A and B are shown apart, each in its own frame.
Chain A
Amino acid sequence: MEPLRSAQKTDDRPVTSVRTRTGINDKWVGFFLLLPSLLAIAVFVYGFIGWTGYVSLSDWNSLLPRMNWVGLENYRALFQDFRFQSDLRNTLVFTLFFIAACLVTGLTLAVLLDRKLKGEHLFRNIFIFPMALSFIVTGVVWQWIFNPSTGVNLFLNKLGFEEPPVWYVDTRIIPGVEWGQIQFGIPLALIAVVIAAIWQMSGFTMAMYLAGLRAIPDEIREAARVDGAGEWQVFRKVILPLLRPITLSVMIIQGHISLKIFDLVVAMTGPGANFVTDVPGVYMFETTFRGNHYAQGAAIAILMLLMVSVLIIPYLVSSMRKEAD
């Protein structure tokens, strides 16, 4: 988001700096300074996206680069594929649970910390710390914790649970409505993965909300109280609406993380029995680099790009509009 915003600013600048002759030179100097990075982005970002799109319309599904045009065949095959249908379901469930849970825990922690309690610094750092870890580390650790025979279940056994949950090994899907080739619903195995992701990312949400809360001037709260609002009412009617931009940013950032999630799943569970924990990123990697199905992998990549775009483009448009105002 940041580069776009600054790009916009450079567009504005000439209008104000045309006043002098050196200003016109400035314009060209600026352009040439930007040129290398513009070219690099054109080739390495948009060029490669275009190339991926092109490959996804070909039949290059072996080691030998055969490039016959097959139209949308790879996409059609994907949407009829058991594994890809499972992936879409898993991504949807994962994203919804992950974002909702991050928002709730993040906001709760932020509100608690905002009470100016003692040792706030310490708590803040403790909560944010997991974010410094790689998803691979998180995945390995939580894989041990939720291992059905050696992890947290050992405690549950001691506490008297005879049949503790088997966590990410569970193949049940609730409620499991037949839909296409798959059962639609919430794969129970995914919950373990969501918990690990929340553990890692809710600290970030907390930091965002904390910054938001600190930005709200005390006078506004005071004014509400003077008007006779109770603490709960102040929170619901005054604070929450003011936090809406933060909520939106968090949803965008967490959303694009969860749509593209790969490393956590690879380290923690792999595709899982019956693909209950599989995600498009993992499928893309395996089919491209293990199965040499380059066209199919490219099609998955393009679909992932589209999913993230659906989330991000409206946000970019609205924030650019705001800036234009």
Chain B
Amino acid sequence: MTAACGGQSDGQEAGDNKQVEIFSWWTGAGEEAGLNALIKLFEEKNSNIQVKNAAVAGGAGTNAKATLATRMQGDDPPDTFQVHGGSELNDSWVAAGKMEPLNDLYKEQGWMDKFPKELIDMVSKDGKIYSVPVNIHRGNVLWYNAKIFDENGIEPPASFDDFFKAAEKLKKKGITPLALGDKEPWGATHLLETVLLGKLGPEDYGKLWTGKLSFEDPKVKEALKTYKKMLTYTNKDHAARNWQDAAQMVAKGEAAMHVMGDWAKGYFTTDLKLKPGKDFGWTATPGTEGSFMVITDTFGLPKGAKNPKATQEWLRVLGSAEGQDVFNPLKGSIPARVDADVNKYDEYGKETIEQFRDAKLTPSLAHGSAAPEGFVTEADQAVNTFVTQGNVDRLAQTLKEKLEQAIQ
């Protein structure tokens, strides 16, 4: 009833709001199920609007992002698209003036106190809010093989000292202490960012991305040295593995620990049929208790979208507690809202929802939230050579120079 405003064609470009095109890279098992559940819920509420699912598979979003860039530059945006909160949204599409602010929608729906303030800040620029977060993944999780830890009398390591003691013990027994998979270079960057967070703490970690704390600062170099030491406890064939292959080493008992975002939980439970808490355990990565490396998928409204009204309806469903509780249990993430129904989530989810409420939220570098995409690829390259060469000074210098170029 809101949509059908007669046969008047207001411009050839504009649609009639009877359709909404949703662009994402959700094609994997759990995430596709989550998206379909959301679409079903949306269609129940808006029977007059047809959903066009424009998901692009492959490359952990790389292919989708390339397609999106082409469409945005050609002024043919989808009605709404998936984008990580933080730099990936703000320094690209918002900076280019291609997004509509959504402050009115937030006020109308009373969302201002339903999402954590730090999270709203991640999707805002200059006081304007540009997207709606649908889920939260935690990046700084250390997964371990519970059986190996039991047999060797190892407690989940809270500090780097604990970690290295445990690693030494395991190494002597012939078990790979830490599984790493950096065939896709972000695997190594992901581990690095958790070490930076653990050594520097959330505040200094945040200062890195604005240039207020230099990568050549002694504290940062100390963190890089710790990272280098951690790498000596990893599997030799890390360059042949992606993160799933590395996680599998922990599942099979070939390696004891693996640092990965909590999408790994879905892999352990759904793909490998492991029992959380019994077969595998988890803890925050060393030194990051109380911090929460946020990776959040959000959707916004691009300028020039053909069906803006229908898109707003979609965003309303996406931001509702009902929508988030339909999507997240299937995707294996937790809701971005603080008032979601805890009972719908598994053991890991419940614990993480608790921690998300009180934790300090920090943006992820490897997943595009902390710094512009251009810097992320350059950081990946610098880290890739560092993993082999181990030159701390060179890594610090490269990261400093490249960041200066990226944020100037």
Q: Which residues of A contact B (CB under 8 A)?
A: 61-65, 82-83, 143, 147-149, 166, 168-169, 171, 269-275, 286-287, 289-293
Minimum C-beta distance from B7 to chain A (A): 37
* A291 touches which of B184, B238, B373, B388 (Cβ 8 Å): B373
Contact A65 B73 (CB under 8 A): yes
Task: Tell me if B353 counts as interface (CB < 8 A to partner A).
Answer: no
Contact A289 B69 (CB under 8 A): yes
Task: Tell me if B325 counts as interface (CB < 8 A to partner A).
Answer: no
Contact B240 A290 (CB under 8 A): no
Minimum C-beta distance from A280 to chain B (A): 14
Task: Tell me if B239 counts as interface (CB < 8 A to partner A).
Answer: yes
A322 to B249, CA, bound (A): 61
Query: Quick check: which of B259-267, B327-335, B377-385 contacts chain A, the rest being far away?
Result: B377-385
Chain A residues near B69 (CB-CB < 8 A)? 63, 289, 292
A8 to B236, CA, bound (A): 57
Contact A62 B372 (CB under 8 A): yes
When A61-B374, A292-B69, A292-B374 are in contact, do A148 and B237 touch as well, CB less than 8 Å? yes
Main secondary structure of the interface of A (DSSP, over half): loop
A202 to B315, CA, bound (A): 55
Contact B66 A289 (CB under 8 A): yes
Residue of B nearest to A146 (CB): B240
Contact A274 B389 (CB under 8 A): yes
Contact A63 B239 (CB under 8 A): no
When A63-B93, A286-B377, A290-B62 are in contact, do A273 and B237 touch as well, CB less than 8 Å? no
Chain A residues near B237 (CB-CB < 8 A)? 147-149, 166, 169
When A169-B236, A290-B65 are in contact, do A270 and B377 touch as well, CB less than 8 Å? no
Contact B381 A168 (CB under 8 A): no
Contact B182 A273 (CB under 8 A): yes
Task: Tell me if B191 counts as interface (CB < 8 A to partner A).
Answer: no
Per CB-CB distance, the 5 closest pairs between chain A and chain B, nearest first, are A291-B377, A274-B388, A289-B66, A273-B239, A148-B237
Minimum C-beta distance from A83 to chain B (A): 6
Minimum C-beta distance from A152 to chain B (A): 13
Chain A residues near B239 (CB-CB < 8 A)? 168-169, 171, 269, 272-273
When A148-B236, A273-B388, A275-B385 are in contact, do A290 and B182 touch as well, CB less than 8 Å? no
A147 to B236, CA, bound (A): 12
